[in-house]
């Protein structure tokens, strides 16, 4: 597959590819490279936000087309560098304190002392730090219960201690949960 950024006046500005990659179920993949090398373009292509200039993306041998693109996208949760969290619960997730899975995610992301609760439910605020917002975004991504999790520079906003915790614990947890994880990073 290839993707080409084209300016109508200047012509081709950047070409990513050709790429040929097979991603296996429950695999952990790190995408690394310098600034401007095409990491984010690659994951936008992979997640179906960009259409290939040439070549094809396949899922289990089936070509992804306009017809099956929504079903393909529904298999992927992605957190991009410029993510945004809404204070409204548009996905209608169960945010009650009785939701043991949500409580476990909050513990794993070390947000227990930061997330507000009332007698019956959790309340999330957009006044969290950038790193905390990324943690909350990952909780929401996990609540979508999709097979593939794509993280674009997710650890960049974390403090050094939590960044190490992410690489050593959270990624292993995601693998145990049978998630395919594709993480873009500058970290070694």
Q: Are 78 and 154 spatial neighbours (Cβ–Cβ below 8 Å)? A: no
pLDDT band at 98 (very low <50, low <70, confident <90, very high): confident
Residue 19 has pLDDT above 90, yes or no: yes
Give the pLDDT score at 87. 63
Higher pLDDT, 30 or 13: 30
Q: Whole-model pTM?
A: 0.87
E strands present in 27-71: 28-31, 58-59, 62-63
* CA distances, 14 to each of 6, 46, 159 (Å): 7, 17, 33
Rounded CA gap, 152 and 181, in Å? 11
Give the pLDDT score at 88. 60
Eight-class DSSP state of 169: I
The helix/strand/coil state of 116 is strand
Highest mean pLDDT among 81-90, 95-104, 111-120, 150-159: 150-159
The helix/strand/coil state of 148 is strand
Rounded CA gap, 99 and 149, in Å? 22
Rounded CA gap, 135 and 17, in Å? 31
Give the pLDDT score at 126. 58
The helix/strand/coil state of 11 is strand
Give the pLDDT score at 158. 93
Helices (H), strands (E): how many in the chain?
6, 10
């Amino acid at each position: 597959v290839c993707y080409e950024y084209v300016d109508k006046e200047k012509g081709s500005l950047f070409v990513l590819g050709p790429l040929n990659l097979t991603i296996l179920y429950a695999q952990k993949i790190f995408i690394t490279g310098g600034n401007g090398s095409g990491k984010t373009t690659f994951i936008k292509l992979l997640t179906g936000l960009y259409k290939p200039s040439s070549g094809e993306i396949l899922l289990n041998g089936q070509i992804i087309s306009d017809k099956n693109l929504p079903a393909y996208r529904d298999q992927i949760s992605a957190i991009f560098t410029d993510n945004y969290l809404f204070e409204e619960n548009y996905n209608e997730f169960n945010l009650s304190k009785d939701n043991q899975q949500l409580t476990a995610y909050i513990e794993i992301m070390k947000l227990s002392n930061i997330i507000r609760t009332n007698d019956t439910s959790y309340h999330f605020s957009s006044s969290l730090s950038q790193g905390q917002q990324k943690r909350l975004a990952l909780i929401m991504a996990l609540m979508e219960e999709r097979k593939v999790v794509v993280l674009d520079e997710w650890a960049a906003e974390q403090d050094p201690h939590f960044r190490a915790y992410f690489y050593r614990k959270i990624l292993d947890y995601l693998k145990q949960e049978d998630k395919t994880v594709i993480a873009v990073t500058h970290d070694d």
